Amino acid sequence: MTGQNTAVLSDSKQNSFQELTRQVLEKVRNPVDRYEIAATLESMGWNDKRARSLFGLDDVFVLAEKIWDTIRKDHLEAPVEHARESDFGRYIAKIIRSFLRGSIFALPMAVSVTAMLTLRFSLWSYEYLSVSAATSIAIGTILSFVIVGGFIQALARFGFMYLNQGYVNMARKSVYYFVRIGFVTSLVTALLFFIFNWLFSIYPWQMSLLIILFLIFLSGIWLSVTVMYILQKELVFTGLITLGIGIVFILFLILKMNIIVSQLISLGIIAVLGVLTSHLLFLRSERQKDMGISPDLPRKSVMYFICLPYFKYGFLYFLFLNLDRIVAWSANTAFMPYFIWFRGEYELGLDFALLVLILPMGLVEVVVNEIMFKLVADQKTYSISQLSALSSQYLRFYLKRLIFIGLFCIVNSIALFFLIRFLEYNGFIHLRVFRNHITLFVFIWALGSYSLLSLGLMNTLILFCLSYPSTVAKSIFIAVIVNAVIGFILSRWIAYYWAVIGLAVGTVVFLVLSLRSVIKVLSNLDYYLYSAQ
């Protein structure tokens, strides 16, 4: 034991030390030894420099040893929080809040679809675009999702982790770090695409310029909206999307500017506003909640190791969502001027089917929050002899909720099917979904795919909350392979729009694999709760 470890702390440092001891005991109620405490401290973001600056101790292990000695000497215990029966009104209010939070995340998509149906344009689409312009915008959009998808998951992981611990300053630093490298990666990708296209002349320079501009602007928007989601300000981004559509309306319809120029100006404004708004929201949250400390982030190698499974998942997830489009649009037809050529009939079916996710995602948020809130209380009240009963209880709880959401998804997809049919045949929408056999085929298969995907996303959130992300990345990787192989074979052997069946089969594979992982975790809940500390 070092001399520093036995040193008497000042009153202010002693209070901070007692608070830290309480936080450690909340994370791990009965630590086995000082090494478990050291691991818990590192999971909370503590490092050697932080231990020295706040307590004057050599490193995290000395701090852990001091906490361990204090626990043994004073017999400190975290206060037991027995699960309390909340009244029915509070329970319903909590469910409504969770449901709205999950559904609101999909609200910008609903705003964009509504704009397309009424104005015939949105922030990055227009009904009467030339096929070459639509191809450029589609490629730029897909690239933006795939390139920053991994960074979105990584910054969400660190942002939520530090915010839940009350360290807003560390959350901001980690989020900004991944936002920077995500945006730089999109710029590097744009440069590499420009060089590649210049060398091999894949697309004309006008198309390649559009691809690059939409890639850069949309990458900034996706990164900023993730920051708003972390800070639970989803409605702010919905407002920005609405503002962006309003800017396009003024520039295009009132000032008679070119639609693509109008959209690019609006995207640039929204991207900048998104970054500034995210920064201001973080600063305000930091002033309100920060605990008065400003430690450094863990070593970059540690951050990379922690976020790697989440990064893999984010990259593969957005690749999975867009892969069937790439497969379908690259299939040879009678007219195929470039390697990838936009097909509006195919895209329209997918866009309308995406609406099926809005309500199920609200239910998913409710279920995941309910499971996690119950776990926080129950893991403090169940004894070792009751661990088997705890696992059985949560497995039954999960399976009941899975069946309920599955049945809801069936009803929800049928209702959306007949709603779109009613709106089209009664003249409320001018787009042809049911009167075009290709769009209808894609719409039906995508409805089923996205409904099943919502169940897979529920499994993903549960596994993420229990710090078990590696199996999720593996599941989505296998789903990507299945999507690509089946979609490619069917689109080449039968018709290009059969690529959507690759999406459907891949979604089933992802659901089954993620379901198996959740059952495995819940069946051994005591082990995974311990490893998640």
- For residues 68 and 135, membership in a common domain is answered with no
State how far the Cα of 77 lies from the Cα of 22, in Å rounded to an integer.
8
The rounded radius of gyration (Å) of the Cα atoms in the chain is 25
445/451 Cα distance (integer angstroms): 10
Q: Are residues 156 and 33 in the same domain?
A: no
31 in the same domain as 136:
no
**Predicted pLDDT at 269:** 92
CA angle 84, 86, 92 (to 5 degrees): 145
Phi then psi for residue 402, to 5 deg, are -60, -45
Residue 97 in domain: no
**Which residues lie closer than 8 Å to 63 by C-beta, 6 or more apart?**
38, 41, 46, 51, 55, 57
Whether 241 is in a domain gets the answer yes
pLDDT at 57: 80
d(CA 407, CA 300): 44
Looking at the domain assignment, is residue 54 inside a domain?
Answer: yes
- Per-residue pLDDT band at 341 (split at 50, 70, 90): confident
Domain end, chosen from 269, 297, 325, is at 297
Give dist(CA 359, CA 99) in Å, integer. 8
pLDDT tens digits for range 344-358: 899 999 988 988 888
Residue 208 lies in a domain: yes
Look-up: residue for tokens 């470039």? Answer: 338
Do 226 and 163 lie in a common domain?
A: yes
The C-alpha atoms of residue 54 and residue 240 are separated, in whole angstroms, by 41
Is 236 inside a domain boundary?
yes
- Domain boundary residue among 11, 41, 74? 74
**Helical segments of 28-167, H only:** 34-43, 48-55, 60-74, 88-104, 107-118, 131-164
Average pLDDT score over residue span 336-341? 81
My answer on whether 167 and 38 are in the same domain is no
Beta bridge partners, 277, equal: none
The mean pLDDT of the chain is: 82
Is 488's pLDDT higher than 60? yes
Tell me how far apart the alpha carbons of residues 234 and 106 are, in angstroms, rounded to a whole number: 9
Q: Are residues 208 and 137 in the same domain?
A: yes
3-state SS string over 316-327? HHHHHHHHHHHH
Residues 264, 182, single domain; the answer is yes
Q: Comparing C-alpha atoms, which of 523, 464, 363 is closest to residue 153? A: 464
Does residue 38 fall inside a structural domain? yes
Residue range(s) defining the domain that contains residue 217 = 129-297
Task: Give the pLDDT of residue 75.
Answer: 44
158 and 275 both lie in a single domain: yes
Q: Residues 181, 292: one domain? A: yes
Over residues 358-383, the mean pLDDT reads 75
DSSP3 helix / strand / coil % (the chain, rounded to 5): 80, 0, 20
Q: Are residues 56 and 163 in the same domain?
A: no
Residue 238, token pair as written in the block = 């919905």
Q: Please give the model's pTM, rounded to 2 decimal places.
A: 0.78
pLDDT band at 76 (very low <50, low <70, confident <90, very high): very low
Surface-to-core class of residue 82, CB atoms within 10 Å of its CB (0-12 exposed, 13-18 middle, 19+ buried): exposed
- Residue 107 maps to a domain: no
Domain final position from 39, 54, 74: 74
Higher pLDDT, 316 or 87: 316
Same domain, 170 and 288: yes
Q: How far apart are CA 93 and CA 196, in angstroms?
A: 54
Q: Which residue has the higher pLDDT, 117 or 354?
A: 354
Digit-coded pLDDT (tens) for 45-63: 777 777 787 777 878 788 8
pLDDT tens digits, one per residue of 259-300: 999 999 999 999 889 888 888 888 887 776 654 455 667 777
Contact call for residues 390 and 525 (beta carbons, < 8 A): yes
Q: Which of 38-52, 152-166, 392-406 has the lowest mean pLDDT?
A: 38-52
What's the number of domains the chain is made of? 2
Residue 445 lies in a domain: no
- Give which of 405, 291, 316 is closest to 359, Cα–Cα: 405
Length of the chain: 533
Same-domain pairing of 182 and 284 = yes
Q: Find which of 46-60, 163-177, 481-495 is predicted with most confidence, using mean pLDDT.
A: 481-495
């609101």: which residue's tokens? 104
**CA–CA separation, 55 and 231 (whole Å):** 30
